[in-house]
Structure 1
Amino acid sequence: MTALERHEIALGDPRYPQQLLRVERPPAVLYCIGDTSLLAPGLAVVGSRRQTPYGRECTALLAGRAARSGVVIISGAAVGCDQSAHRAAIDCGGRTVAVLGCGADLDYPPSARALLRTMRRGHLVVSELPWGAPPARWTFPERNRIIAGLAAALLVVEASLPSGTFSTADHALHAGTEVLAVPGSILSPLSRGTNRLIRDGAGVIAEEADLDLALSRCGLLETAQPRGHGHEIPRALSPLETILAASPLTVDEVAAELACSVPDALKTLALLELQGSVRRSADGRYRYAGGEAGR
């Protein structure tokens, strides 16, 4: 397959992903640029465009973990969570699929230009819209059903109330795709949607082990092949871990570095403490825990 080869995969084509037949109105044609072998069930990761530092850390942690296990990461290339999920997969040597609300040959949104050009060369960009079709308000809710249909599981990292993310979750439920959600503070507007999903029965992803169990339950870890070099693949450091590796900081200093509130900084630190990559010292400063992060 050449670098930017275009594919038009119609219903009935052996390459057409069978899992898409579960959605309402399966696309008549998929317009694809990239590696069409990635049209296999994967993990869809979606969330808010107004991503918080907590949401960014969770997305990098969880999408990266799944991608390192060989699970294909599916999202929509939108600003915020979507782009973070794609980059987490790419940064750890994993594979990722972007489903667009415009032609697969267009760089939209503009902030995703470099990301999409990378994905067309080593990953996959997909749309049900013909080449050159411009984005419109109605195309994005329609795009969401394809994201949900391609996935064996859907992970919602952050969502407000109301949120377009619920459109994707509804399509996932209709298609029989398992819905997972990351819990958050009841004081955070961007956690109200995920907390509501959990209340309504979504699987709780409160730590990496929860994700592993969910992926195994969906059959994704059974079929996935680990990505990267060697048998033990350390995950990439998150932005906060990189900062703390350079110098221990107080929570106020962490908030200043991340340009967020102290409560948001505390939530992000708590997540990293749970995974064992950050420790709080007796002097109140937070320190990177070194090699323990890769366990």
Structure 2
Amino acid sequence: MAFDLEELRAAVAAHGPVARVVIAAIRGSSPREVGAAMVVWENGQSGTIGGGALEFQAAEAARAGRLGLSRHALGPELGQCCGGAVTLLTEAWDAARLEAIEGEVVARPVSGAAPAPLAVKRLLARARGQGVAPEPQLIEGWMVEPVLKPARQLWIWGAGHVGRALVEVLSPLPDIAITWVDTGVERFPETIPAGVTRVPAARPADLVPYAPREAEHLILTYSHELDLELCNRLLRHDFAFAGLIGSATKWARFRSRLAALGHGSQQIARITCPIGDPALGKHPASIAIGVAARLLSPAHGETTRKELRA
């Protein structure tokens, strides 16, 4: 987990000053990990620290202005099945405080203005000098969190029913930055989720050279010819993963046509088709769930790492 600076900025821009509640420490079993956070304002909230009574009480305390550290025994105090205890840090954030954030790590005392202890200084020096982000942690009266930077770049080609379902399922995941491409602005919904970059382009395949070579791609446009050209361009450009929507028949035809364009069978086999889990059905939401499950699986992560090392 990490400090989601963009989400917090968006919340402040929309609602004014807000409270942020973060799990600062845990002992035993907990519904979420250290660094999990939610943002609370008068009539709403976003994010989650695990739901249930803990989250309800924490949100009410934040709205009442109760800031600082609080400790909660999940079983005896809240009646939750988790047998552990959590320490929460509730802080007020406004535009001025957000503007003061610098660097890749947010480190601050949980109360007052105590000087940074040596342990915190070492973490900050390591982050600056070696680029090693610290784990979220409460250390000697200071809360330390790395600023969220999505580790994965996902390009979704197509804003039809399946593309929209995929964006809806995947956009809440903080570790994934989505670039969403289609042929015209009218192809997209009016509201685009935070963290998604909408790119209308008359010739989408011309954007392939701008995609990072470590990016992952999902190809599901309205045009088989455009799908084919995207596959062709991606094979010439490189990628960590490429998935194509379609039947076994479509993929057999594409393999033949890609071979005719000069691609070897081993290279063509790097493209995954069909995508999703056929057992879940063909509804756009079912396809999106199947694709998301694959993208989030440890096996998929290991496969993409091998592709990048090759």
TM tier, smaller: 0.3 to 0.5
Q: Which gives a bigger RCO, structure 1 or 2 (Cα 8 Å, sep 6+)?
A: 1
Give the number of the structure whose residues are more often helix, by fraction: 1
Larger Rg: 2
